[in-house]
Structure 1
Amino acid sequence: MINRDNNPWRPLPAPNIDWRDGIPVSREFDDVYYSTDNGIAESHYVFLEGSQFLSHSKEKRLTIAEIGFGTGLNCLVALNAWLDQSNQRAPDSTLHYVGFEAQPLTKAQLQRAWEKWPTLSHLATRLIRDWPQATHGCHRLYWPNWNITLDLWWDDAQQAMNDLASRRQRYFNIWLLDGFTPARNESAWSPSIFSTMAALSRKGATFATFTAAGDVRRGLTAAGFTVQKRPGFGVKREALSGQLDTLKETPQASGITPWDLTPKMIPPKKAVIIGAGLAGSFAARALAERGVAVTVLEANAVASGGSSNLQGITYTRPSRRHGVLADFALASYQIATRLYNQLLGTTLVEGVDGQRCGYLQVTEDSETLDYLKQFADCDLPFRVLNAEKASDELGAPLTQDALFFPDASWLHPAAVCHERLSHSRIQLHEFCGNCDFGSSTAGWQINDSLGNRYDSDILVLATANQLTEASETAWLPLQTIRGQTTHVPATESSSGLRTAFCHEGYLAPPRLGIHCLGATYGPQDTALDERPADHRINLQKLASALPSVSFSTTEAAISGHVALRCTTTDYLPVVGPMPNRPAFNACYASLKAKKTRFIDEECPTLPGLFVLAGLGSRGLTAGPLAAEILVSDIMGEPSPVPRYLQQALAPARFLKRGIVRGRPL
């Protein structure tokens, strides 16, 4: 299992590439990224034909893994072939493609590589647009119009595959082995790689590769694959292909107690979600896009709770060291910015529902700024700017260096909720009042305050602080944070602002002539009254950080909004299955004596009950990734995050922590 905790944060280095007749060649491995004869023809023959792609393409949920993603040529050839088969498969079938790459190309290198293949430009344009920056981890790209999910793991393939294998699930139908030649890149062709492939493969999974090296053939055979030689492509004399006919019993062996894993379940056909704020809206959309019929029940109106602010900003804060807070914040920021940049100008109205404007972060943490400056030439989600360049980006004078995040947006949370809930498989019921629920033989039964009953395979609770009112979830250590934002009309001094500005608070560019700034921070304060003193605090903080921008301070000019945010005691969301608390405490009681003890017992859960809550003030940023983590788990898909992050979000973490500390909840 990957664990980066407290390691120094560093981006991945860009590969050193030479270009020979437009074909990229790795200097380190002295090997081409694809055939010099015809890369597309090679992909079709070696990888699609070799893996029996057409016979797999009719699968309802086809999942492909590629070791050595490179330029993405094999991926886009496979995606194109799958799209061409649309008349021969179920209309709601999906393709999930997982690529492993330890040295991802820069976007500029990728763009140059794809100039050679205009016939796939309809796919290459999207890949280039969404290409992730050079940060470790899994980067999920989702193209809903085609029902395609692309997970790009920028990590060592063995480490990432081990992490997936630790979840005890068999995900893959097809393996494409396309690392650099085994003679120069042994780690991508090791016996442990092949045994992990087998552990992650479904019965009948196939593989294909360009090489026929003896060590590769013997390693795959030892892992349980039936291996055949076939004629190679171009100058290659032979290539290998094969399949896994028999599933070996894999040792539960990660040696990691499965306290965080959802027991295997049949993917649901129906789901009920209680709560139509950002958390519930993102979860509903993620389920609906996977073919699940979703009913959303909201006590009041959509986005009437903590998601009711006028504006919010997609936000993260880089750190000098890895840690679950920093790593989740950066991963969620990247998937959120990809999503909103697709929606703005299409289903979200630019300037009304949101705006891609970037944001500048000023900070007194000069050590972190100095540390991050060394990565100025790397492809990252942020840049360190000196005061002069930061002032130019902001459109107002600054006297200190700042971090600039060019892909960020401000958004109107209610508009995002409505957009996410606008789907043919989602039924929304507002003003239902409080709901009660209970398990049944068929799943869950939910009753609203109007006397309506809903039956569902699964139930997702996205009710923020109201989770403490249900017996099943009352023990979760949630806390309420009162936040008041201030709304002021744009002025001459604020009209030139080009980006959002973050300091101790934030200032967004105006929405329909009104700026939103704030917000105050009031732990355990549940009062919803609007306070003039809090407006003064917001304005004073902004004046101190950005004195060149001023607003009218008359009472007539100032209004605002109060919302209660829900967070946890460790400031991370709760995402995942609800454990059965008494059974969990009994099952894992011996962790008190030794927290690293391996207990090979499935996590006791309340079957079919899940939660997504505790997003705090980061709902716009954390919500998309949190929903993908939850729904991937429910549907039995590969996770979009390493397991250490999923553990950090699991509701059961608080129970495990209590046992280890000798104070069970």
Structure 2
Amino acid sequence: MSKPGKQADIQWREDGQPLSRAYDDIYFSSASGLEETRYVFLQQNALAERWANLNEHATFTIGETGFGTGLNFLAAWELWQETAPKSARLHFITVEKSPLHPQDLRRALALWPQLEAFSQTFIDGYPPLLAEGVHRLQFGPVSLTLIIGEASEALQSLRLQQECRDRLVDAWFLDGFAPAKNPDMWTPKLFGNMASLSRTGATFSTFTCAGLVKRGLRDAGFALNKVPGFGSKREMLCGTLETLHHNDFKTTPWHLPATAPQRPESVTIIGGGISGATIARALAERGVRVQLFERGPAPGSGGSGNDQGILYGKLSPKPGPNGDFNLNALMFAQRYYRQYCPQLAHFNGLLQLAQTDKEQQLQQQISDALAQYRDQNLAQAISAEEASTLAGVALPFSGLYFPGAGWLEPQKVCTSLLEHENITRQHCHEVEMLARRQGLWHLRAAGKDIEAETVILCGANDIRHFAPAAVLPLRPIRGQVSRALATEASSQLRIALCGEGYITPAHEGRQSFGATFKLKESATELRESEHRENLQTLSDLLPDLAAEFSTQAFTGRAALRAATPDYLPIAGPIPNWESLQSTYANLRKNRKLLIGELADYQPGLYAMGGLGSRGFTYAPLTAELLASWIMGEALPVSAELALALHPARFAIRDLGKNRPSVGN
């Protein structure tokens, strides 16, 4: 688990203004913080005029160096709604070393009742766990990327080392505590990262005229203008990036296609499960026309087609790609389903029970890690007695309680996400062929030849059926879920339970429990033996309920999950594997070698898969990451984590260990 951000220590003055004890400085002007924001940041960056002239479907990106109370973000959001085209999107990237506790945030923003509609929506989406790293919050066409950590390092964490992908920011709000109070933030490294993330002609504004700020901005390539300051401040700075300093690769850029990302007019998606549904919705929301092919009769006909499924993540007490992704994916998914299909997201809590000594030890470590966070609302350790009270049934195990998680109606979720004017669906269409000819992808489905500009492979294990993705190390895992008629006793269960298995509360007179886990099996027929296996797993958790269920004839469903060797999803562009092998062949001799060349990638071809048994938790954030790759947007995760999910990572690892290539 990532380290906690050091939360802001707030002193509330008699006039109701928040003051940072650590820096002995105010968060905004005592005269009028909102008017200061509008003058210093919105007006000096000429945002109203620039936004009124945006093209349809344009994305405008703001970068900010001190999030504080979020006042600048909310003021920008308000102005965006008033001036920008309805089809355009605003991306607000901000950093904060010491995030405010939700209670302090609510109190600070209450000073601006005119922003209440925006501030309430923002507070409702505020991360329940303020961990260091990247947090993506989505508010319709407005995205907030909040990076908790030291400012220069936080901005550095987004850089992919390619100018066409890194130079995204159109305007900077250079905010934060005054240089005299907080000199550690205002460093040459900060200004250098600002410049590296800026488009040509990007603007900036800041309340300060301090000498180190002027020198740092000039050295980074910004031209400066002094203008009258706000209120009692005599002067402030604004300006434009005029000189571009090109940066060399710091690490081998195996993850980067050589061509710059181009916004596609249309995208073809193969696979209509939760992977296909989430990436289709992400692109459709960006104004891209999406055509989706699903071989089954309805969305979610494969592994995403259960009647009930739980939303949970596998937290880890230690930092690392798996634990960090699980944490961020869970928090993102909880917000996502509440926004897009609230009627299908039954998020009234989930209990992750410790049924073994090993799991008890792990949960104790997670509990200790969570204890470092002040009043976090993601999960809490509870006793068996407390678990029983929450669940409504007697439980012999302690566990972790996730108040914002719960269960979903999977197939209906997939259908709901695909109900968008920019999405067309073709069911009972199995794509039999995919080939590149004359600058386009050619597909054959239901006897028809189809041309596609951009293709995304989302068909779980079927991804490997297409030659350009055949080497991806996806492996099938059979899982069978059992369904039973709810009894009077089982209907007392109020929330979803998971441990060695899982069981959902009653819905429409039935309950789901399971699921089996059969590696490398590809058959999908129902098996009575696996119903009995699920019943035994349930008996270890709730023996009385299992005994009641045992007299029934179960229904259920068997399907295949697709997993990767490292149990992280795949999301990103697909390389030309021969080019990747030849370009980076010398990694076989030295895996730390810096090879500053770019391999060829398959033009307009991407993959999203390998979500394993936590598909509905992983899919929303994975789709947001893939949409960012395709559209050339700022990432919703750190660059390091994006590489940990990249389709080429397995081939690069094999090169570094001088092993035979994947798929051979």
Provide the TM-score with structure 1 as the length reference: 0.94
The question of whether the paired residues in 2 share the 8 Å contact of 1:433 and 1:450 is answered with no
Whether the aligned pair in 2 keeps the contact of 1:262 and 1:633 (CA below 8 Å) is no
Candidates 337, 340, 349, aligned match of 1:358 = 349
What is residue 205 of structure 1 aligned with on the other side?
Answer: 202
SS at match of 1:105: coil
Q: Which moved further from structure 2: 570-579 or 261-270?
A: 261-270
Q: Report the CA distance shift for 1:55/1:204 in structure 2 as closer, same or farther (over 3 A).
A: farther
Deviation at residue 369 of structure 1 after TM alignment? 2.9
Q: Deviations over 1:115-138 (max 9, x none)?
A: 111111111111010011312221
Provide the secondary structure at the position in 1 that maps to 2:255.
Answer: coil
- 1:426 has 2:420 as partner: no
| Aligned match for 2:28, one of 8, 12, 34 | 34
Q: Does 1:150 align with 2:144?
A: yes
- In the alignment, which residue of structure 1 is the partner of 2:332? 335
Give the match for residue 62 of structure 2. 64
2:600 paired residue number: 604
> What is the aligned counterpart of 2:632 among 627, 633, 636?
636
Letter paired with 1:152: L
Mapped pair 1:258 → 2:253: yes
- Cα drift, residue 552 of structure 1: 3.0
Aligned equivalent of 1:13: 6
Question: In the alignment, which of 108, 126, 131 is matched to residue 126 of structure 2?
Answer: 131
Amino acid at match of 1:179: G
Please give the secondary structure, in 2, of the residue aligned with 1:369. Answer: helix
1:621-647 deviations in Å (ceiling 9; x for gaps): 100011111110110100001122111
Cα separation, partners in 2 of 1:577 and 1:344, compared to 1, 3 Å: closer
CA contact (8 A) 2:168 2:198 kept: yes
Give the distance between the partners of 1:556 and 1:386, measured in 2 at CA: 32
What amino acid sits opposite 1:122 in the alignment?
A: A
Letter in 1 for 2:463: L
Q: State how far apart, in whole Å, the 2-side matches of 1:391 and 1:241 are.
A: 59
**Does structure 1 conserve the Cα–Cα contact (< 8 Å) formed by 2:484 and 2:552?**
no
Q: Decide which moves more: 165-174 or 197-206.
A: 165-174
State the alpha-carbon separation in 2 of the partners of residues 156 and 502 from structure 1. 37
Conserved 8 A contact 2:2-2:133: no
Is this contact kept in 2: 1:138–1:640, CA < 8 A?
A: yes
Cα distance in structure 1, aligned partners of 2:640 and 2:87 = 32
Question: d(CA) in 2 for partners of 1:122 and 1:307?
Answer: 36
Where does residue 578 of structure 1 map in the other structure? Answer: 574
Equivalent position to 1:217, from 214, 218, 222: 214
Please state whether the residue corresponding to 2:487 is helix, strand or coil.
Answer: coil
Deviations along 1:525-576, whole A, 9 cap, x unmatched? 1222212221122122222123354453456442211111111122111111
Give the distance between the partners of 1:103 and 1:588, measured in 2 at CA.
41
CA contact (8 A) 1:577 1:650 kept: yes
**What's 1:84 paired with?**
82
AA partner of residue 253 (structure 2) = P
Match of 1:111 in 2: 106
Task: Tell me if the contact between 1:489 and 1:557 (Cα under 8 Å) persists in the aligned partners.
Answer: no
- Aligned partners of 1:271 and 1:458 also within 8 Å: yes
Deviates more, 1:614-623 or 1:542-551: 542-551
Q: C-alpha offsets along residues 303-350 of structure 1, whole Å, 9 cap, x if unaligned?
A: 1111111211111122121121111111111110001122344xxx3x
How do 1:304-453 and structure 2 match up within 5 A? Answer: 304-345=301-342, 349=343, 353-363=344-354, 364=356, 365-374=359-368, 375-376=370-371, 377-451=374-448, 453=449
Write the letter of the residue equivalent to 1:74.
N
Q: Which residue does 1:3 correspond to in 2?
A: none
2-structure distance, mates of 1:18, 1:342: 34
**In structure 1, how many angstroms separate the alpha carbons of the residues matched to 2:341 and 2:267?**
28
Q: 1:551 to 1:153 in 2, by over 3 A?
A: farther
Cross-structure match for 2:588:
592
Of 487, 502, 513 in structure 2, the residue corresponding to residue 517 of structure 1 is: 513
SS at match of 2:543: coil
Distance 2:599 2:331 in 1: 31
d(CA) in 2 for partners of 1:586, 1:628: 31
Cα distance in 2 for partners of 1:429, 1:535 equals: 33
Aligned mates of 2:171, 2:625 — CA distance in 1: 23
The Cα shift of 1:242 comes to 0.8
In structure 2, C-alpha distance between the alignment counterparts of 1:128 and 1:322, rounded to whole Å: 26
Aligned: 1:474 with 2:467: no
CA distance in 1 between partners of 2:180 and 2:69 (Å)? 21
- 1:501 matched residue in structure 2: 497
| Pairwise CA RMSD | 1.6
Range moving further from structure 2, 262-271 or 646-655: 262-271
Residues 383 and 97 of structure 1: CA distance in aligned 2, closer, same or farther (over 3 Å): same
CA contact (8 A) 1:396 1:549 kept: no
Return the TM-score normalized by structure 2. 0.94
Whole-angstrom distance in 2 between the partners of 1:166 and 1:421: 31
Q: Quick one: which of 113, 120, 124 aligns to 2:115?
A: 120
Contact 1:493 1:550 in 2 (8 A): no
**Partner SS, residue 490 of structure 2:** coil
**Which of residues 49, 53, 61 in structure 1 aligns to 2:47?**
53
Give the partner amino acid of 1:601. E
Question: What is the distance in 2 between the residues matched to 1:610 and 1:240?
Answer: 43
Q: Which moved more, 1:101-110 or 1:217-226?
A: 101-110
Q: Secondary structure at the match of 2:157?
A: helix
Equivalent-residue separation in structure 2 for 1:354 and 1:274 (angstroms)? 25
2:89 equivalent to 1:97: no
Q: CA deviation at 1:195?
A: 1.1
Q: In the alignment, what sits opposite 1:178?
A: 175
Looking at structure 2, the residues matched to 579 and 292 of structure 1 have their Cα atoms a distance apart, in angstroms, of 23
Q: Is the 8 A contact 1:106 1:379 kept in 2?
A: no
- By how many angstroms is 1:398 displaced? 2.7
In the alignment, structure 1 segments of 5+ residues that lack a partner are 1-7
Residues 553 and 396 of structure 1: CA distance in aligned 2, closer, same or farther (over 3 Å): closer
AA matched with 2:105: L
- Tell me the equivalent position of 2:276: 280
- The size of the alignment, in residue pairs, is 644
| Counterpart code for 1:69 | F
The residue number in structure 1 matching 2:193 is 196
Unaligned runs of 5+ in 2: none
Per-residue CA deviations over 1:97-127 (Å, capped at 9, x if unaligned) read: 1111121112211111111111111111110
CA distance in 2, matches of 1:27, 1:485: 54
Mapped contact 1:576–1:610 kept (Cα < 8 A): yes
Q: 2:649 aligns to what?
A: 653
Secondary structure class of the residue paired with 2:613: coil
2 CA distance for matches of 1:84 and 1:506? 47
Secondary structure at 2:491 match in 1: coil
- The CA deviation at 1:373 is 3.5
| Alpha-carbon distance between aligned partners in 1 of 2:157 and 2:538, rounded to the nearest angstrom | 44
Q: Which residue of structure 2 lines up, in the alignment, with residue 5 of structure 1?
A: none
